């Protein structure tokens, strides 16, 4: 039984003409939390499937979310740097990020 709650953080960064998550592989437990941040601009992250207890939505601010789903998930990162009019996507070859929530 896992009883320690871990607070995970992912930073969305501009890498060339792409948005990348650091880290892009999350191995977490139910009850752990996640906060997404960026100092490189406005971000948007889409999860598939939604792994949190909070109501499903695109993550666009550094709120703290609580994992409440067991299994694999993918996440896709988008970033709009200051002054830019076009949103940067994750590199197609990497497919965003992925994770696994352990029960």
Which CA distances in Å does 68 have to 3, 9, 88, 89? Answer: 14, 17, 29, 27
Say which CATH architecture domain 7-102 belongs to: Sandwich (2.60)
In this structure, are residues 13 and 37 in contact, taking their beta carbons and an 8 Å threshold? no
Q: What is the pLDDT of residues 39-78, one digit of tens each?
A: 999 999 999 999 999 999 999 999 999 999 999 999 999 9
Q: What is the pLDDT of residues 17-35, one digit of tens each?
A: 999 999 999 999 999 999 9
Where does the pLDDT of residue 1 fall: very low under 50, low under 70, confident under 90, or very high at 90 and above?
A: low
Nearest partner of 60 among 46, 39, 49, judged by Cα: 46
Domain regions of the chain by residue span:
7-102
The pTM of the whole model exceeds 0.85 = yes
């Amino acid at each position: 039984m896992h009883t320690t709650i871990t607070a995970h953080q992912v930073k969305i960064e501009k890498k060339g003409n792409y948005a990348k998550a650091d880290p892009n592989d999350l191995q977490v437990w139910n009850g752990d939390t996640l906060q997404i941040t960026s100092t490189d601009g406005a971000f948007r992250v889409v999860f598939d499937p939604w792994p949190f207890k909070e109501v499903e939505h695109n993550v666009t601010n550094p709120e703290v979310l609580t994992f409440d789903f067991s299994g694999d998930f993918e996440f896709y990162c988008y970033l709009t740097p200051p002054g830019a009019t076009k949103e940067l996507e994750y590199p197609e070859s990497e497919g965003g990020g992925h994770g696994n929530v352990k029960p």
